[in-house]
Amino acid sequence: MQLLEERIRRDGIVREGNVLKVDSFLNHQIDVELLNEIGKEFLRLFGDEGVNKILTIEASGIGIACVAAQYFKVPVVFAKKAASKNISGDTYTSCVHSFTKDKYYDIMVSKDFLGEGDRVLVIDDFLAKGAALLGLTDIIKQSGAELVGAGIVIEKAFQDGGKKIRDMGIRVESLARVASMSPEGGVVFA
């Protein structure tokens, strides 16, 4: 997606440790006009799939998913990050390793909001090593819902998450694919 690539090139900041900061338009301050274009693009890609629910993960996926959901006209469910002791039997849960924080946490979704008969599109801001997406995939599997695919805003294609998830037969559509990046050279797209 041209507009998104231009924005990443202009305002993205590459940090040591393979982290791309997009705080000025996606992860802290949010450019809603840009999110609208992202939402339309996800609709173009997944609009024929009979999606009736969008699933994401807190916190940064929520805004993106909500704007996209206005085009799909479906509700958004977001997986909550939780301390294990807070988890009750009424939830689907999975354990996820955070790429940016390098720690493990549980994610949970209430059984009230996901189940058999649902056709689910997963939306998230980044795909790096695939842990967040694998956790959400696990929750969808537990619920008996069907995973239509994953819509990702920025895929760091030099990390192995995309390959891992696609090798599982899951459709992954990323609007910007970063082939390589460095603090000196900036971002190169695939």
Binding region for ligand 5GP (CB under 6 A): 19-22, 27, 60, 99-100, 124-133, 156, 161
Q: Which is nearer to ligand 5GP, 52 or 158 (CB)?
A: 158
Which of 42, 45, 82, 77 minimizes the C-alpha distance to 61? 77
Q: Which is nearer to ligand 5GP, 33 or 160 (CB)?
A: 160
Contact between 80 and 74 (Cβ < 8 Å) = no
Closest distance between ligand 5GP and the C-beta of residue 161, in Å?
A: 4
Residue 35 CB neighbours (<10 A): 20
Closest distance between ligand 5GP and the C-beta of residue 28, in Å?
A: 9
Contact between 145 and 122 (Cβ < 8 Å) = no
Q: Which is nearer to ligand 5GP, 51 or 79 (CB)?
A: 79
Q: Which is nearer to ligand 5GP, 17 or 89 (CB)?
A: 17
Q: Which is nearer to ligand 5GP, 68 or 131 (CB)?
A: 131
Strands (E), 128-171: 146-156
Closest distance between ligand 5GP and the C-beta of residue 1, in Å?
A: 17
151: left (phi over 0), alpha (psi -120 to 50) or beta: beta
Q: Which residues are CB-neighbours of 95 under 8 A, at least 6 positions away?
A: 104, 105, 106, 107, 135
What's the one-letter identity of residue 119?
A: R
Closest distance between ligand 5GP and the C-beta of residue 12, in Å?
A: 9
- Report d(CA 174, CA 4) in Å as an integer: 11
